[in-house]
Amino acid sequence: MPPEPAHRLAPSARWLWRLQGLVGTLVVLLAGTALGGELEPPLDSLWPLAAVLAAVLLCVVVPELRWRRWRYEVRDEEIDIRRGTLTVTRRIVPMVRVQHVDTTRGLLEQLFGLATVVVHTAAGGTTIPLLEQAEAARVRDRIAILSRAPDDD
C-alpha cells in the first residue's frame, strides 16, 4: 500500500460530526418515545439500548474513525484523497483534469470556522471538507494555480 496522504482535516471537524451525530441520536430518542410503548414486550424495554448504541456510534465512534481515515494531499500533478469509515477509498484526481475549484461554507461550518474545498472536473465534483478557513483558502489557491485543464480536452 502506498504511503498515506500527508494532511488531516481540521481537528474541530470531529466536533461538527459529533453535533450531527447528536441530531441522529435525538431522532432515535424521539422515535423511541413515540413508538416504544407500542412494541411487543421483549422489545419495548430494549429501545433505550438502541438509543445508547446510536449515541455511541454516531457521536463517538464514527466521527473519530472518519477523522482518522480522512487524509488529503495536493501534489503538483494530482490530488490524493483517502476517506471512509468502514469502506476506505483512496482516490486520485489528476491536476490536468481540474476545471475549477472553489470553497463553500455551510452554516455549521461557519460556526466552527471551517470551509469545504470543492474541486470540479468534467466528471463532477470532489470535496475536501472541513478544513480551517485559512487552510481551505490556501488549498484552493494552490489547486487553482496547479490546474490548467484545457476546457475541452
* 34 CB burial (10 A radius; 0-12, 13-18, 19+): exposed
Residue whose C-alpha cell is 500533478: 77
Q: Is 142 in the site for other proteins (CB under 8 A)?
A: yes
Q: Does 34 bind other proteins (CB under 8 A)?
A: no
User: Is the backbone of residue 84 left (phi > 0), alpha (psi -120 to 50) or beta?
Assistant: left
Number of residues that bind other proteins (CB under 8 A): 33
Q: How far apart are the C-alpha atoms of 14 and 59, rounded to whole Å?
A: 9
Q: Which positions from 65 through 124 interact with other proteins, judged by CB under 8 A?
A: 73-78, 84, 86-97, 121-124
Cα separation of 107 and 130, whole Å? 12
Report the nearest approach of other proteins to the CB of residue 102 (Å). Answer: 18
Closer CB to other proteins, residue 3 or residue 37?
A: 3
Applying CB under 8 A, does 153 fall inside the site for other proteins?
A: yes
Least separation in angstroms between residue 27's CB and other proteins is 26
40 touches other proteins (CB under 8 A): no
CA 15 to chain centre: 12
Pick the closer one to other proteins by CB: 18 or 90.
Answer: 90
Q: Give the DSSP H/E element, type plus range, for residue 121.
A: strand 114-121
Interface residues toward other proteins, by CB under 8 A: 1-2, 73-78, 84, 86-97, 121-124, 126, 142, 145-146, 148, 151-153
